[in-house]
Amino acid sequence: MAAVVSVPALAAALRRCEQGNPIPPAGATLDAQQLVPMYRLAPGTVEDEAHAAAQLVNEVGERMRRLAGAYGEWRLFEAGPYFDLSPAQVALLIHLSERVSTVHAVFFVDPLLPAFQAAHACA
């Protein structure tokens, strides 16, 4: 059973739950103490969380933008060191598709958001 890593995936899991199917885990690897500070978002007001989420998306977006130039410099690309994530966190948060000279990366920020974590915990 794959982990739920996005709001649309959580919505789909909730619909399946109504039909008797269990909701997949959100991922126990996202203990805040194991994340580097950049990925730690504290729960707070809606405005505070929205601001922190926007800042996180901006920082991840900047790394993704720089990845186009940096990818060719790696003999063997390692997403963990590039994004400052452990192997378990990479497995949950990033989907990579590598070609000979390019990489396509999808970074799921949703599981890092306190509101997403709370919604999943209540499901």
User: Taking the CB of residue 39, how many other CB atoms lie within 10 A of it?
Assistant: 20
Render pLDDT for 54-67 as a digit per residue (tens, 0 to 9).
999 999 999 999 98
Helix, strand, coil percentages in the chain from 3-state DSSP, rounded to 5:
55, 10, 35
Give yes or no for a contact between 122 and 102, defined as CB atoms under 8 angstroms apart: no
Of residues 76 and 90, more confidently modeled? 90
**At residue 77, does pLDDT exceed 80?**
yes
Render pLDDT for 82-106 as a digit per residue (tens, 0 to 9).
999 999 899 889 999 888 777 888 9
